[in-house]
Structure 1
């Protein structure tokens, strides 16, 4: 019976799986080896090696070590990074996922699943308050204003799902969140004055949490390197050791999975954050905007 297959649902391309597979593929090609050589080292089929390199299946630690040995990779930090990546991917695949009960999350399933196992997030937002810091009324107003929902009844489950994500900021496995937000996102009257008053007050409360760092890039910062797009860097180990970048466009979700992409966006985030106010000054600015409302 199909339901008896323990691997059911695991043979699927994942963000972390693709990143791991891409690194192993690069290492193999650098040694001018074929997939058959890797298959021999794993006592597996060429088809399995192809699935590994395409991020379609999880990979065990002994197989990681065997491939590193075959490819002549002796740097302990590199091997440890690949092992951490493989572990994170396995955790992602086996997670039952509370998010599966919310049909409105289809386009965000991969992101929410990764957020659930991440150790830290760095997010830059131009136009909206980051999802992990939104109130229910603010999230609802965003959904209504988006105007793309075919069934309005789906909005409330979407809002509930967004609130469920925020457990990561207060639960047993507290996520480290560094959010840099442009001042324009705080002044946009999403949902009206009362909704924004509650939202800004919520930001002030969240900024008091030790695991939340909040900065505001003020209008006075002028032109800055983050003007073209918002993005989130999702980390699964020490910062920079294992990162992927998530971006939303008007028509799709974009994942940037290479080391070069992660490094480039980490540097971009650092430049933007240096233009932001310090947290204490950011809190004063938010409080000032709140009082204006």
Structure 2
């Protein structure tokens, strides 16, 4: 588990580097080699290999290719995916992502960088509408309510950054989003009635996208596994790539990157889904609440 503290600055490439290093570590262990063998192949120290596998240093393409060959990987497509990940990681370390126009995103920057190359996201939110589905007015009202901002211009830039994220839902390779939302988030009057009417209408509209699934866990579900925390599970297209779990607290962000954590949260997500309404009934509930307003 790793965390980032916004007061210490954010290394936006950390998760990407750890993911690449973790893939190479898995490949090395699968063929029974020690770090010393990898170090010899790279004419490097064992300490450097350890740093690479922990995602602490950027990886050069020749090093990635050499390690793939050492570990018996001959599939050029598989190697190409790792090379692309290494390239993306190097770019993130140089802070070249669009999100760097929005320093107000702060601790979210690392997550946004990862979301940018993800295949899918499963998210559970009991208290508010997930960021990828928020309207500008709703996002603005949340930011004001959090009382984190003193400068109104900062709030506007923060909201603009959140809206820019939503481009992933409609780009050339759109993100698959499965959002499960607690009924309380739909009834909380964030920004007032008009803002919530607009937000709920937007949810109904977004759910019509082929890559977006929206479900609601109603109050009638009673106690369920999602009451204690909210989280997002980020998945990738590469075969064998592990999911990454992202959680926010009031003071930091948490990344859960082990296979055990990914499986555990995946099962928890599925249990939450079983307590929810099917998509058609969820949309009917959302629209019903909108009409009540």
TM-score (norm. length: structure 1): 0.85
Task: Find the aligned partners of 1:25 and 1:238 in 2 and give their Cα distance.
Answer: 16
| TM-superposed deviation, 1:28 | 5.1
| TM-superposed deviation, 1:32 | 7.6
Q: Could you tell me whether the CA contact under 8 Å between 1:18 and 1:53 is conserved in 2?
A: yes
In structure 2, do the counterparts of structure 1 residues 241 and 50 end up closer, same or farther at CA, with 3 Å as the change threshold?
closer
Name the structure 2 match of 1:230.
230
Task: Find the aligned partners of 1:99 and 1:12 in 2 and give their Cα distance.
Answer: 10
Task: Find the aligned partners of 1:262 and 1:137 in 2 and give their Cα distance.
Answer: 33
Task: Find the aligned partners of 1:268 and 1:20 in 2 and give their Cα distance.
Answer: 26
Measured against aligned partners, the alpha-carbon deviations of 1:29-81 in whole angstroms (never above 9, x if no partner) come to 99583x43321022333343132022023444423324524xxxx899xx95x
Name the structure 2 match of 1:38.
38
Q: Could you tell me whether the CA contact under 8 Å between 1:230 and 1:247 is conserved in 2?
A: yes
Name the structure 1 match of 2:134.
134
Name the structure 1 match of 2:118.
118
In structure 2, do the counterparts of structure 1 residues 155 and 24 end up closer, same or farther at CA, with 3 Å as the change threshold?
same
In structure 2, do the counterparts of structure 1 residues 134 and 235 end up closer, same or farther at CA, with 3 Å as the change threshold?
same
Moved more, 220-229 or 239-248: 239-248
| TM-superposed deviation, 1:25 | 4.8
In structure 2, do the counterparts of structure 1 residues 143 and 228 end up closer, same or farther at CA, with 3 Å as the change threshold?
same
| TM-superposed deviation, 1:199 | 0.3
Q: Could you tell me whether the CA contact under 8 Å between 2:58 and 2:89 is conserved in 1?
A: no
In structure 2, do the counterparts of structure 1 residues 90 and 103 end up closer, same or farther at CA, with 3 Å as the change threshold?
same
Q: Could you tell me whether the CA contact under 8 Å between 1:240 and 1:263 is conserved in 2?
A: no
Please tell me whether residue 151 in structure 1 is matched to residue 190 in structure 2. Answer: no
| TM-superposed deviation, 1:103 | 1.7
In structure 2, do the counterparts of structure 1 residues 139 and 254 end up closer, same or farther at CA, with 3 Å as the change threshold?
same
Please tell me whether residue 93 in structure 1 is matched to residue 96 in structure 2. Answer: no
SS in 2 for 1:251: coil
Name the structure 2 match of 1:163.
163
| TM-superposed deviation, 1:107 | 1.1
Moved more, 240-249 or 184-193: 240-249
SS in 1 for 2:116: helix
In structure 2, do the counterparts of structure 1 residues 185 and 67 end up closer, same or farther at CA, with 3 Å as the change threshold?
farther
Name the structure 2 match of 1:268.
268
Please tell me whether residue 63 in structure 1 is matched to residue 66 in structure 2. Answer: yes
Higher relative contact order (CA 8 A, sep 6+): 2
Aligned residues: 275
RMSD: 2.7
Please tell me whether residue 103 in structure 1 is matched to residue 103 in structure 2. Answer: yes
SS in 2 for 1:158: helix
Unaligned runs of 5+ in 1: 1-10
SS in 1 for 2:57: coil
Q: Could you tell me whether the CA contact under 8 Å between 1:19 and 1:258 is conserved in 2?
A: no
